[in-house]
Structure 1
Amino acid sequence: MNRLLWRNIAQEGRDFHFCRHSSFSLSSEPHCHDFAELFLLSRGKIGHCVNGETQELAEGSLALIRPDDVHFYRKNNSSPCELLNLAFPLKLVREILRFTRRLERLNGILNAATPPFLVLGVEEKTQMGKLLSSAGTALSINPAEGTAQLRGILAEILSCKFCAQDAIGRPAQEESSSWLADACRAMRQPQNLRKGLPALRKLACRGPEHICRSFKAQLGVTPTGFINEARLDFAAAQLASSDSKMHVVAREAGFANLSHFYHLFSARFGMPPAAYRKKLQRTAIPLSGQRADGKR
């Protein structure tokens, strides 16, 4: 049996690998891997065998394949299909669940006989497919921006979908609180990040107490905590891909207080913003005395 290794498929330094499979002319071989894998069946039907159990996946099926799950796909001659595949190290799942205070759900996700699986409604499937495709494209053009987008998408899926009671190890219906997922997604837009809580309340169309209860119950964080996390993701992408001055990056991310930005950024990434930029930024136009990899 083939065991796929993260070091053989991922580009060095990246946390994600995205691929779109637009057709299955042959059934795949049984395999497992040392990384986690998220897939969305965005079109058609396909057979899926995992850990000895056969599933007939319908359009909109969303599943999280864990390291060492043995699975393969079986073609459906009557149905052309499209599969969006996102691979990433398991450590990202731990990091996200720890941040959203859902780490206690990790054992349930890892130890269930079958992987977490659910079926999205038509509108949500379409929207999720567009988000994954857009972020996957961004990953190849601007790795820092694509990574920030994919971390947000993965956090939403883990917290709002697979950590829901019905979503561990068996099919689940579409979440009733789709307004929360929609609001979280929209809040990652720069114009909303700058406005902060007022923008979130407007997007959610609900009262402050209702919003706060929902965030704590479903995401394990306060609305302010979520906004700060999204702002830091945006700031990290800007630091890695632009030469904007530090106060400009902070302001564009929605931080009015520069020292507060420094404090939160250092706590999240383990280094000050300037050190993060020096470590990750690459440029095709080296400055005087600077190599193309950003080093002097």
Structure 2
Amino acid sequence: MLWTSSVVLRRDIEQHQHNLHEFVVCLKGAVSITINDESHQLLSGHSVFIPAQYQHSITTDKNTETKLLFACIAPPSFDNLSTPANSLYLKTLSKGGFLTNNLNSSSQHSTQGMQKIANELEIQPISSSPLNVCLKENLYLRLLLIHISNAGYEQQANAQSSLRMTNAQDWINNNYTMDITLDKVAKQVNLSRSHFARQFRQHTGFSFIEYLLKLRCDAVAKNLASSNTDITEIAFASGFSNLSHFYRHFKRRYGITPGAFRLMIKHQGVTLRP
């Protein structure tokens, strides 16, 4: 059986778990829901599906009034909603896929659709009549399918972003010895300077310049260890155009000067492949 309730949340809900699938739609305000130690931020019109037995807690935004719609259903009843067309999606939901739908502003139409159906479900009378049960289940299923669709779009966008950053990373790896800039790399993947910089840091853990300097310093280190080529020549060949800049960043990365690094490697008998 499907149980629904809308609640104005005025306090946090501590971590707990239960035997029901729990679907939460944020109708107003903002809330943070932690599921199995992973936090998800929900704004108005966003939703989250919490499979049965998943540990979860809810933290409210004390500065805004938060209203949530809770829809809970036992796994056997949830399975009964399955049809040949939706069975794969519902099964994915119940196993923890498509947990969140936290869309950005470009998906305003989908967000409004989610809120409209959630409001319809909220005002349904408490009744065990077959007609009322059927109506509530249909509204619930429509919410789930919008949630799945939106969550899928978000995953697709994340995958596309990840592919772009991988391509950018490959391009930098192949061209770090050249005079490359943030603007040039952003142009390679058709992103603005600021958008690329933010996504690149999220993808690699480094800013663009940190990543570029790391590549260049590591290339110098490998050449110092494997050849007797002049240090200045190696630095310029690795993409550095300013020697004081090179010495400063090399020492920052390795803790010693390039000359001391070469002596240390030779004394230790270590060979680094270029």
- TM-score w.r.t. the length of structure 2 is 0.48
Task: Flag the structure with larger Rg.
Answer: 2
- TM-score w.r.t. the length of structure 1 is 0.45
